[in-house]
Structure 1
Amino acid sequence: MACRLPSAAAAVLAAVALLSHLATAAKLPASFKRCKAGDPQLGGCMKEAIKVALGELAKGAPSLGVLPIDPLAISALSIGRGSGPVDVSLDFKDLTIHGLSSAVIETASFDTKTLSLDMQTRFPGPVSLLGQYRIDGKVLVLPITGEGRCNLTFADLTTTAKIRAEKVVKDGQTYGRVLSFGFSLQPQRLHMDFENLFNGDKALGDNMNKFLNENWQEILKELQPAVEEAFGATFKEIVNRIYQRVPYKDLLLE
């Protein structure tokens, strides 16, 4: 199975409902934590700063061009048919992702020369993707079809992010710009509930949902690349919204 998004940029375009007006110069809100570039405990400071930022962004930061991220809105996500054991065409739309504000930053390291940030995050609470779906194909030789509401909930989720950036000069000020936002997720469990499978046949639908949940690891292998790409592209856009508004010297003190 292959992700049908032409690139990560497509996920960003699908997530425009999350973001507000065009970039304008802004100050980092006083509620955000700032770190010093020369701090020997920079990693620890970054952990705390990211924790605070996530809490603030969960509520939204209009001055930075970011609406609330819990729930986080992704308008569309598509997964195309392949030749593996999970051979389905699966389209999501109007997704809302709940639970991101429960994030606990486990590790964070930042390189001030290359502007590289690596971090691991744990979510003690569930992270759920709610929205509309349409599916057609087969799962481990069993046919599947349907469209309606869906709920995909990750339990005991950990994530890894690798962010690479650069400095750019604009109007005499130095700003940051994210070049790439690698993102991976590792849940201990994935629970799925697809309503209205097989045109509303309850018996068939209940049995298929049970089958999907019994084989969640195989399903996740196929869903994971597209979900990770959508998350990474959306988070990249959120961070760039902040970077293009707030001068670098105000984000990381010299």
Structure 2
Amino acid sequence: MTNFKWREFDSKKGMDGLEDIEFDPIKLTQLQIVGDGGPISLNMTIDESVVKGYSTIVINTSEIVPSNQSWITSFYIPKILIEGYYRMHGRILVLPLVGSGNCSIEPSGINATAYMKTNFFENYGQIFYNVTEMTMDLHFSGMKLYLHNLFEGIKPLEEATNQALNDNWRELLDSFKTFVSKPIEDNFVFTFNKLLHYIPAKYIVSDIELPQVSTKN
């Protein structure tokens, strides 16, 4: 494997010539959470959500496998805040769980490994990377959430239910891993490609022999 370093890039401000590239915040049209099994079952949709916190990402290692040009990157994010408007049907034990309104979800202590598949293209006499696919392995150390207007705004039930969800966040973990990782994967592929299509590959990785490739149309 070959280690590499990114050129300096500010995830909030972008970089010279690419100020429109931002990791933080990310705006998403719709997110879906489905979790069935155990004492807590959720089927929740979050519309017009905003995801904040990616600018605090700390890259631990970044490596490339020369045989297939796949990238393996491990990183840490202290916390991510997801806000939006939710609609939900579910249950806690035998208690129906119904509501719609504003929500906030905050996973924390996120250790992740990203696996990216890439290929190359040539443009203007330079060879560039192109990310074709990304998958992620996530591990959380904590999570808290608050769902407003549960049970049509009956405050004692709303607060008790939110407390129960927070006390049992590990029961929701598998559902929320997919919920958190999918938008990261989709948006990072789009954002990384905007960045990688701007910087020639030789400035990202200096010790790998780049192939002869066809010119991008």
Structure 2 length-normalised TM? 0.83
Distance change in 2, residues 1:171/1:149 (3 Å): same
Considering Cα pairs closer than 8 Å and 6+ residues apart, tell me whether 1 or 2 has the greater RCO. 1
SS at match of 1:232: helix
CA contact (8 A) 2:13 2:19 kept: no
Residue equivalent to 1:160? 113
CA shift, 1:113, in A, is: 4.5
Number of aligned residue pairs: give it: 206
Secondary structure of 2:198's counterpart equals: coil
1:67-106 matches, cutoff 5 A: 67-80=21-34, 83-85=36-38, 86-106=40-60
Shift of 1:100: 1.6
Equivalent positions of 1:164-175 (< 5 A) are: 164-170=117-123, 172-175=125-128
Q: Percent identity?
A: 24
**1:195 corresponds to which of 145, 148, 161:** 148
Distance 1:230 1:141, change over 3 A: farther
User: Deviation of residue 170 (structure 1)?
Assistant: 4.1
Query: Measured at CA, do residues 183 and 109 of structure 1 come closer, stay the same or move farther in structure 2, by a change above 3 Å?
Result: same
Counterparts in 2 of 1:65 and 1:174: CA distance versus 1, 3 Å:
farther
Which sits farther off after the overlay, 107-116 or 195-204? 107-116
Corresponding residue for residue 161 of structure 2:
208
Q: Secondary structure at the match of 1:169?
A: strand
Aligned-pair Cα RMSD in Å: 2.4
Say whether the 8 Å CA contact 2:11–2:54 is kept in structure 1.
no
Which runs of 5 or more residues in structure 2 are unaligned?
208-217
State how far apart, in whole Å, the 1-side matches of 2:67 and 2:194 are: 21
Equivalent-residue separation in structure 2 for 1:108 and 1:249 (angstroms): 16
Q: From the two aligned structures, give the one with the greater helix fraction.
A: 1
Which structure is higher in strand share? 2
Secondary structure at 1:63 match in 2: coil
- Residue number in structure 2 paired with 1:240: 193
1:224 paired to 2:177: yes
Matches of 2:15 and 2:26, distance apart in 1: 13
How far apart are residue 66 of structure 1 and its match? 3.8
Q: Any unmatched runs of 5+ in structure 1?
A: 1-39
* Counterparts of 1:151 and 1:83, CA distance in 2: 21
Q: Could you list the per-position Cα deviations for residues 65-111 of structure 1 after superposition, in whole angstroms to 9, with x for gaps in the alignment?
A: 7443222222211234x652343321112222222222222222223
What amino acid is the match of 1:94? E
Paired residues of 2:60 and 2:74 also in contact (CA < 8 A): yes
Q: Give yes or no for contact 1:65–1:242 (8 Å, CA) kept in 2.
A: no
Aligned twin of 1:177: 130
Runs of 4+ off more than 4 Å? none
**2:89 counterpart letter in structure 1:** D
Q: Report the 3-state secondary structure (helix = DSSP H, G, I; strand = E; otherwise coil) of the residue aligned with 1:156.
A: strand
Letter of the aligned partner of 1:120 in structure 2? Answer: S
